[in-house]
Structure 1
């Protein structure tokens, strides 16, 4: 069995006497340390899949198994990074990460160990210099770095990324993509990411899961990205394999757009 297994997942939302099926028979196995991107047109249920894995939604049918245990509700073994950084504005950068660390590790770590762990995770995302800054005092990219640090500080088995760079400018997005690649290389995290960006999906992923259109969306194709790591976006720009993968995803999305 895969490290993360999504099995026969169906999701319907019921309003009164009407039921709307969002997802139909989603099956996906994710290996430990693998980076998976989920891509598809708006309304295909990408966020619904992620929210079910996170335990924020209960599926209508099927289920999710992580490391041999069925997912039933939210848990610290799955941490989420949202498109919106979701930082608490009245807390400093340090305190925003400390909220998670103190909640989870107050009994297993001493105060000094917790402080070192918080600062370690902020250094991973190059935010060690801004411990005492408040969210309103830092840029959007920095806020997202803090959100990633907070998620990593929970020592999750799976890191869930819901369009984490979608609200950022192109240059900041590129810097954060590079940092996420480095973090995964150093820590070996299992990552599941939603994106609308084809280049981002090819650059970051081991496999790209392409969803059919909703309603009743399912997995249309899964593309394995056989590019060596570490990956350099400049070098890949002229790599025929990179462009082949990019064209394959664009072709799938174009065909699905014609069916809408």
Structure 2
């Protein structure tokens, strides 16, 4: 039986990798909409025609997927895992119920700040007295917008005025995660690094963590020692990821469908 997959990816590097994967399986034929010359209406129609759609989230036909007629490369509702504020809420809730678990020990002090209007930042900070009353110059916190990625608008601050300026500079970002800065991370020759682990989630649901994690270091570092440290911490990494997936899977903000799958990246820093 030959099955048809519809491919519609913007990133050429990822598209070529996915195509190479399908080429290794002769029972699959691929229709690549990324390079097709179909009209917009024809492209829209073709997106729901294959057994599998592997493409951008915004182009998935969720009616077709929800009806069970197509497998999709993303979950429809997954903000409980990919939005920082939702993830903070879910993991904090889990940690409170499982205080002796790996996740509880791994989480830094975290608060969610809602800023409805930059003219009322002081009112918003009233809900986070740990930050509002911080000892200026003696404590360090980090502020992360819930909706952004690639470190956009992230701010490290040691006084409330610096946080206020960061919030005023991003008036469209209303939901922030505030975390006490990890000031004593494990380093390699004085350089900080974090661990990137990829997790494949399928159906409703099973999660597979890739056993080879990456050590992402500051520039100018040799990887050998960091790779050894990553191997030593692998059991803790897998435990933290497992508990995180359990924490979000029971929440309404993460709803895995049986005919969907998605690849997520987890970044962890060790102390």
TM-score, length basis structure 1 = 0.25
Whose helix fraction is larger, Structure 1's or Structure 2's? 1
Decide which structure has the larger Cα Rg and report it.
2
TM-score, length basis structure 2 = 0.25
